Amino acid sequence: MSDSQVVSNQVVVHGAAEGAHHEHLPYQRHHFETYAQQSDATNFAMWLFLLTEIMFFGGLFTAYLIYRNWYYPAFVEASHQLQIFWGTANTAVLITSSFTMAMGVWSAEMKKKGALVLCLVITFILGIVFLGIKTIEYSEKIEKHHVPGFHYSMQSFLNPQSDPEVYKEYKDKPLPYDMARHTEIYFFLYFAMTGMHALHMIIGIAILGFMIFRARAGAYTTGHVTFVENFGLYWHFVDIIWIYLFPLLYLISRHQ
Amino acid sequence: MSHISPVLWQFLVKWLTNFSLYPPQASKIAPQMDALYFFMVLVSLIGLTIVILLITAFSIMYRQKKHPVPVQIEGSTMLEATWTIIPLGLFLIMFVWGALIYFRVYTPPANAMNIYVVGKQWMWKAEHPGGQHEINSLHIPTGRAVQLTLISQDVFHSFSIPAFRVKREAIPGRYTTVWFEATTPGTYHLFCTQYCGTDHSHMIGDIVVMTPDDFKRWLAGSTSGASLAQNGERLFASLSCSACHNARPDARGPNLANVYGSKLALSNGQSQLADEAFIRDAILNPSQHVTQGYAPIMPTYQGQISEDGVIALVEYIKQLNSDYRIQQTTTTTTLLPESEGKATPAGQKPAGQGMVKQ
Amino acid sequence: MSKEKGLLSWLLTGDHKRIAMLYLISITFFFFIGGALAGLIRLELLTPQSDLMATDTYNKVFSMHGIIMIFFFLVPSVPATIGNFVIPIMVGAKDLALPKVNLLSWYLYVAAGILGLYAMMTGGVDTGWTFTTPLSTHYLNTNVVTTGLAIFIAGFSSIFTGLNFIVTIHKMRCPGMTWFRLPLFVWSNYAASILMVLGTPVLAITLVLVVLERVAGIGVFDPAKGGDPLLFQHLFWFYSHPAVYIMILPGMGVISETVSTFSRKRVFGYTAVAFSSVAIAVFGFFVWAHHMFIMGISNYSMLVFSLLTMLVAVPSAIKIFNWAFTLYKGSITFETPMLYSFGFMGLFTIGGLTGVFLASSGTDIHLTETYFIVAHFHFVMVGGMLMAFLAGVHFWWPKMTGRMYPEKISQLAALITFIGFNFTFFPQFILGTLGMPRRYATYPPEFQVLNVFSTAGATILGVGYLLPILYLTWSLKYGEIAGDNPWQATGLEWQIQSPPLTENFPSIPIMDHEAYDYEWLEGQKEKVASVG
């Protein structure tokens, strides 16, 4: 990406009166000199925005790292409450949706309207599936009183045998009371991190809905692909956050 | 000075002698810190003077009327180097000097007398080992190193004695320490300097520094009867700590005599120094401080015991150098019902092992 | 400026210059609310007892003074008003890269401000601007959540401004505008924008955690549940330290412009000043725990943070000397922006040097949490930043409005401000050294004399700040018409009309000379004379 754009199609003299009005594409905003500059700038802006998102999630990741280090047994046992099946399913769903999104970007670049709409719709559906799986997981947590706050229950950790499905697989030892308390922090971080992630998914899905509508009208297949490309970046980013969350919350130290 | 009215002169003298730019120096570290402070004031004055002189001189010499044609100068690497290196050098001196003082203030000597201070909204409670309790005041002797072990019962507070130049945050959940040695008898301000709510500005008190004899007399006159350790012993029994920590061969908990100050081998393989913070944590979060060779069965006392109670227990355990009195009480204390008839957990070693003395 | 009239054309504008004016009006509004609260503080502190208001009320007053001044005035002050107006012109562009995002950033600011005012009027908040836990999460009954949300939203306003600046500076420089031909104002705002973009999200997540802890009681900062209140401190200061550089860097940028213009000389050591701005931004991220020296961090942490803090002080010193030497062999006049700039240089030097007192951990033990800290940050923020803001507003006023402000009264106001400021805040250094704690509604009687001095100064300072509002508003209608370049300055913004056209330039310029090139300016004048 070059930093300083040279006006390609004519020489402009400083201070000269209005010269020949240069042709520009209908979707080029007037304050940009060329479409290439516009596309470059908006792309860069999206990368910067994603950097701010990394800093935003960073606080939660820091808290997770610190508390996991301090309360390791609680975190290990609490993580047994998450089902790898659903986590893996969600990961597969998201990675596929990133693939379909990338295909959508390609379709827009190739000006294939039908393919673009199809890809966006599949991505949309996969996003909804992700949220659906998350709903299943969250409702299970709510039932078992694992939501931090006033109704939180440590029974599954003080007495693992009271939770037969999880006990069958992991045969956890009962945690002492003061360590069992810290499972609430694990679940708080679980809900905060996946919840913040889900919020970003919801925003993404809403924008996808808008995009499907506009794509059907042909807005993205005339050569103006920046919106789709930049949204693709956002979608991939949300996917990557999940790819960090999945091992940290579901996978590590499973079988200690 | 006969032409100055005597009244005005008196006022002037009084004002000048009472008006100070810094607090009295009442501790050993105070003059040391003031020396650094005055060095910084000097450096700042010189720096400020240089800047002001430059600006003033250049403004006068090169004002438009006098110097209508400016000379375009790009810069001077020499000058850049000078005003980078000299400030950096001075700042580094201040860094090292300040760090030395900081280390001194927060590294108590081994023979320091320890006083516990509990901060809560909106008062300070000081607890001397001999059982003397004070609210919003602290009596200490001159010529003796005094360490304060601070903790808060609720929010962040900060224990500040400007005359000693010391200050330390009192935090909920863990002990913090600071030490000083008072040099001049007198009464000095005690402030809470961390905003803690409605009556933050009323959380103030007096530090009363006395000669050692006066202090001894004060101690004798203010005791409530039981020392902290004695209170701790009572708590130890009433909370049934001796059910496990009883120095018997089949005891479920390690022997606590002489444990303070020793290096303990923990069940997770690490070795940790058993200081006040460790003992407090072991009472409140026992499962993370299991001594090697013992099972993690100690219940937590979080919520069942106040910070004052923990302090009493800590003091008691600090002073414990024999199991005689514990064993006396175990014959009269009923063991917990669920402990009757249980098999001894596997891997348990007799009391006394698992502790590595320093 | 846009030729369209009507309220809607302003409220839906994409023109960076109009957005800058919208911001100017809104931050001035908040400045006066924050200033009124400051007046209340100083009035209360006239006497040792808490007799003007209950301590609870006093706690709310100083908390809201801090929150409003920092988040609703200082952070957006130069970037969102002056920066928005001149940065696109300085790089030779027709607007910022993302005009709609710019407008969104103003609406977010207004929404945040309304929410904050609502919180203030329905009970206020008394956490202090630092929201220390567990006080703010468990021990107060005031509008912590609403205020936290307001600051959260204001944070996004700040992020979007910074993001816009970075993209514009990278991608929209006109032909010939290399990085080292940019005015130093652009460099300073670029550095501040990096901090805005990278630091503010951490504040956002910290506020989310505080709100969740209050609302759901989850215990992330609560020691009784295994949480750590010190974690909050680290997260909070990770943003709030860079925040002070967000606040001061744009002001330093203004000073580069004014000192150069009113000496008619290029800035001495351009490269050094440019790199110093970036160095302050980078180092600024690594010093946060110097706010926590007495909180129980380890001695070794202290060493690291104290050393880094000493390092971050050096670039500021470099800048002060470079500005002083810009005067050398210049041709100096003393219009109002220059007077404010001199005030900045002296007062920021004092403020910065007293920062070194605090960076040295030994003296910090005695001085932290006292009025020394209050004096230190007011010297850098008010003596420094606010003076720079006023310098900038006066400097670019002719460009923004097409009118000159009245010179004599503005010079008087600058002098009044300088005198009032010193009377208000210098005694506070002494109070701090004597041990007077901050955030105290009542204090021991021996501190009264200095407090009275300070309040007297505040009265003078208030007059100094009221005057500009009056005469600047007056000048909109009655001020002398300013030409394109009343200061004979070299920047691109001075080569176009006042106020500029909507698209700034009739056609994109080509930059063929260095920054602060007064010889080029002379050449331009000769060219015009020969043509005319």
ipTM (interface pTM) = 0.93
The pLDDT confidence band at residue C36, using thresholds 50, 70 and 90, is very high
The pLDDT confidence band at residue C130, using thresholds 50, 70 and 90, is very high
- pLDDT > 90: percent of chain B: 56
Which residues in chain C have Cβ-Cβ distances shorter than 8 Å to A62? 235
Hey, are the CB atoms on B95 and C294 less than 8 Å from each other? no
C195 CB contacts (<8 Å, ≥6 apart)? Answer: C162, C242, C243, C245, C246, C249, C281, C284, C285
Which residues in chain B have Cβ-Cβ distances shorter than 8 Å to C441? 200-201
Residue A126 reports pLDDT greater than 90: yes
List the one residue out of C362, C222, C296 whose CA is nearest residue B150. Answer: C296
Longest dimension (CA), chain A: 84
Domains of chain B with CATH codes:
23-106 (1.10.287.90), 228-348 (1.10.760.10)
Task: Strand B186-192: give its sheet, edge to edge.
Answer: B137-141, B205-210, B186-192, B157-161, B166-170
**What number of residues does chain A have?**
256
Strand partners, B272: B264
Distance of CA C483 to the CA centre of its chain: 29
CA C370 – CA C348 distance, rounded (Å) = 20
Hey, are the CB atoms on B299 and A73 less than 8 Å from each other? no
Hey, are the CB atoms on C201 and A55 less than 8 Å from each other? yes
List the one residue out of C513, C511, C516 whose CA is nearest residue C176. Answer: C511
Mean pLDDT to the nearest integer, C2-11: 79
Q: Which CATH number fits domain A37-250: 3.20.20.70, 2.40.440.10, 1.20.120.80, 1.20.1340.10?
A: 1.20.120.80
Which residues in chain C have Cβ-Cβ distances shorter than 8 Å to A78? none
In this structure, the strands spanning B145-152 and B137-141 are unpaired
Strand partners, B119: B124, B152
Amino acid code (one letter) for B199: D
Nearest to C366 among B59, B165, B196 (CB): B165
Give chain A's count of helices (H) and strands (E). 9, 0
Measure in Å the smallest separation between the Cα of A179 and chain B Cα atoms: 6
Closest chain B residue by Cα to residue A181:
B285
Hey, are the CB atoms on B167 and C134 less than 8 Å from each other? no
CA C452 – CA C459 distance, rounded (Å) = 11
CA B230 – CA B226 distance, rounded (Å) = 6
- What tokens were used for B320? 């414990």
Residue C173: DSSP 8-state: P
For residue range A65-78, list pLDDT tens digits in order: 999 999 998 999 99
Backbone dihedral angles phi then psi of residue B341, each to the nearest 5 degrees: 80, 5
Nearest to B55 among C230, C327, C357 (CB): C327
CA C95 – CA C99 distance, rounded (Å) = 7
* Interface contacts B/C by beta carbons within 8 Å: 288
Residue C256 reports pLDDT greater than 70: yes
Which residues in chain B have Cβ-Cβ distances shorter than 8 Å to A177? 287, 299-300
Residue B9: DSSP 8-state: H
Write the DSSP assignment of B272-298 as a string of letters: EE--HHHHHHHHHSGGGSPBTTS-S-P
Q: Which residue has the higher pLDDT, A56 or B348?
A: A56
DSSP helix/strand/coil, C93:
coil
Quote the pLDDT of residue B322: 75
Which residues in chain C have Cβ-Cβ distances shorter than 8 Å to B190? none
For residue range C450-504, list pLDDT tens digits in order: 999 999 999 999 999 999 999 999 999 999 999 999 999 999 999 999 899 898 9
Helix runs in C360-384, H state only: 361-367, 371-378
CA C392 – CA C468 distance, rounded (Å) = 13
Which residues in chain B have Cβ-Cβ distances shorter than 8 Å to C434? 20-23, 162
Which residues in chain A have Cβ-Cβ distances shorter than 8 Å to C497? none
Give chain C's count of helices (H) and strands (E). 19, 0
The pLDDT confidence band at residue A4, using thresholds 50, 70 and 90, is very low
Which residues in chain A have Cβ-Cβ distances shorter than 8 Å to C509? 12, 14-15
Hey, are the CB atoms on A177 and B296 less than 8 Å from each other? no
- pLDDT > 90: percent of chain A: 62
DSSP helix/strand/coil, A153:
coil
CA C161 – CA C85 distance, rounded (Å) = 12
Strand partners, B182: B27, B142
Hey, are the CB atoms on A178 and B297 less than 8 Å from each other? no
Mean pLDDT to the nearest integer, C112-116: 97
Hey, are the CB atoms on A73 and B298 less than 8 Å from each other? no
What chains are in contact with C, requiring at least 3 Cβ pairs below 8 Å? Answer: A, B
Write the DSSP assignment of B52-70 as a string of letters: HHHHHHHHHHTBTTT--S-
Residue B348 reports pLDDT greater than 50: no
List the one residue out of A73, C474, C404 whose CA is nearest residue B268. Answer: A73
Which residues in chain C have Cβ-Cβ distances shorter than 8 Å to A149? 216-218
Amino acid code (one letter) for A232: G
Residue B173 reports pLDDT greater than 50: yes
CA C60 – CA B197 distance, rounded (Å) = 10
For the packed helices A183-216 and A113-143, what is the interaxial angle rounded to 10 degrees? 160
Strand partners, B63: C332
Backbone dihedral angles phi then psi of residue C170, each to the nearest 5 degrees: -75, -45
Which residues in chain A have Cβ-Cβ distances shorter than 8 Å to B297? 176
Closest chain C residue by Cα to residue B100:
C362
When the pLDDT of each residue in chain C is averaged and rounded to a whole number, the result is 94
Which residues in chain B have Cβ-Cβ distances shorter than 8 Å to C353? 40, 43-44, 47-48
Hey, are the CB atoms on A176 and B287 less than 8 Å from each other? yes
Hey, are the CB atoms on B284 and A178 less than 8 Å from each other? yes
Residue C250 reports pLDDT greater than 90: yes
CA C383 – CA C411 distance, rounded (Å) = 16
Nearest to A184 among C101, C201, C219 (CB): C219
Please indicate if any CB of chain C lies within 8 Å of the CB of A20. Answer: no
Quote the pLDDT of residue B346: 41
- What tokens were used for B296? 């993690």
**What number of residues does chain B have?**
358
Query: Are B122 and B203 in contact, with CB atoms under 8 Å apart?
Result: yes
Quote the pLDDT of residue A256: 62
Quote the pLDDT of residue B15: 65
Quote the pLDDT of residue B342: 41
- pLDDT > 70: percent of chain C: 99
Quote the pLDDT of residue B17: 62
Which residues in chain C have Cβ-Cβ distances shorter than 8 Å to A182? 225-226
Question: Could you say which residues from 160 to 219 on chain B have a Cβ atom under 8 Å away from some Cβ of chain C?
Answer: 160, 162-163, 165-169, 171-174, 176, 189, 191-202, 204
Write the DSSP assignment of A94-107 as a string of letters: HHHHHHHHHHHHHH
Query: Are C447 and C70 in contact, with CB atoms under 8 Å apart?
Result: no
Quote the pLDDT of residue B293: 86
Residue B142: DSSP 8-state: B
- pLDDT > 70: percent of chain A: 90
What chains are in contact with A, requiring at least 3 Cβ pairs below 8 Å? Answer: B, C
Query: Are A248 and A79 in contact, with CB atoms under 8 Å apart?
Result: no
Hey, are the CB atoms on A176 and B300 less than 8 Å from each other? yes
Hey, are the CB atoms on C345 and B172 less than 8 Å from each other? no
Amino acid code (one letter) for B150: L
For residue range C272-325, list pLDDT tens digits in order: 999 999 999 999 999 999 999 999 899 999 999 999 999 999 999 999 999 999
Measure in Å the smallest separation between the Cα of B326 and chain C Cα atoms: 30
C496 CB contacts (<8 Å, ≥6 apart)? Answer: C89, C484, C504, C505
Hey, are the CB atoms on A31 and C99 less than 8 Å from each other? yes
Residue A95 reports pLDDT greater than 70: yes
Nearest to B80 among C269, C353, C449 (CB): C269
Quote the pLDDT of residue C185: 97
Question: Could you say which residues from 146 to 175 on chain A have a Cβ atom under 8 Å away from some Cβ of chain C?
Answer: 148-150
Hey, are the CB atoms on A185 and C216 less than 8 Å from each other? no
Hey, are the CB atoms on A177 and B284 less than 8 Å from each other? no
Hey, which of B252-261, B329-338, C113-122, C223-232 has the most confident mean pLDDT? C113-122
Measure in Å the smallest separation between the Cα of A175 and chain B Cα atoms: 9
List the one residue out of B200, B190, B160 whose CA is nearest residue C58. Answer: B200
Distance of CA B122 to the CA centre of its chain: 18
Which residues in chain B have Cβ-Cβ distances shorter than 8 Å to A176? 286-287, 296-300
CA B165 – CA B26 distance, rounded (Å) = 9
Nearest to B189 among C334, C364, C435 (CB): C435
- What tokens were used for B352? 């006394």
DSSP helix/strand/coil, C28:
helix
List the one residue out of A78, A186, A178 whose CA is nearest residue B296. Answer: A178
Which residues in chain B have Cβ-Cβ distances shorter than 8 Å to C140? 197
Nearest to C369 among B158, B166, B202 (CB): B158
Region label for B22, one of left (φ > 0), alpha (ψ between -120 and 50) or beta (otherwise): beta
Mean pLDDT to the nearest integer, C368-396: 97
The pLDDT confidence band at residue B16, using thresholds 50, 70 and 90, is low
Which residues in chain A have Cβ-Cβ distances shorter than 8 Å to C137? none
Choose the weakest-confidence range: B131-135, B240-244, B281-285, B343-347: B343-347
Residue B350: DSSP 8-state: -
Measure in Å the smallest separation between the Cα of B156 and chain A Cα atoms: 20
Domains of chain A: which residue ranges?
37-250
> Where in chain B does DSSP place strands (E)?
113-120, 123-127, 133-135, 137-141, 145-152, 157-161, 166-170, 176-181, 186-192, 205-210, 263-265, 271-273, 355-356
Hey, are the CB atoms on C350 and B80 less than 8 Å from each other? no
What does the angle CA B103 – CA B105 – CA B109 come to, to the nearest 5 degrees?
A: 90
Hey, are the CB atoms on B298 and A176 less than 8 Å from each other? yes
CA B91 – CA B85 distance, rounded (Å) = 10
Tally Cβ neighbours within 10 Å of residue C513: 14
Closest chain C residue by Cα to residue A181:
C225
Quote the pLDDT of residue C229: 92
Domains of chain C with CATH codes:
12-523 (1.20.210.10)
Task: Give kind and range of the element (H or E) at residue A50.
Answer: helix A35-70
CA C117 – CA C290 distance, rounded (Å) = 32
For residue range B295-321, list pLDDT tens digits in order: 888 888 888 888 999 999 999 998 888
The pLDDT confidence band at residue C219, using thresholds 50, 70 and 90, is confident
Write the DSSP assignment of C131-156 as a string of letters: T-TTHHHHS--SSHHHHHHHHHHHHH
Backbone dihedral angles phi then psi of residue B190, each to the nearest 5 degrees: -120, 125
CA A161 – CA A155 distance, rounded (Å) = 9
Region label for C498, one of left (φ > 0), alpha (ψ between -120 and 50) or beta (otherwise): beta
CA C128 – CA B195 distance, rounded (Å) = 8
Measure in Å the smallest separation between the Cα of B287 and chain A Cα atoms: 6
Mean pLDDT to the nearest integer, C519-528: 85
Q: Which residue has the higher pLDDT, A87 or A10?
A: A87
CA B128 – CA B112 distance, rounded (Å) = 13
Nearest to A41 among C97, C205, C225 (CB): C97
CA C510 – CA C502 distance, rounded (Å) = 19
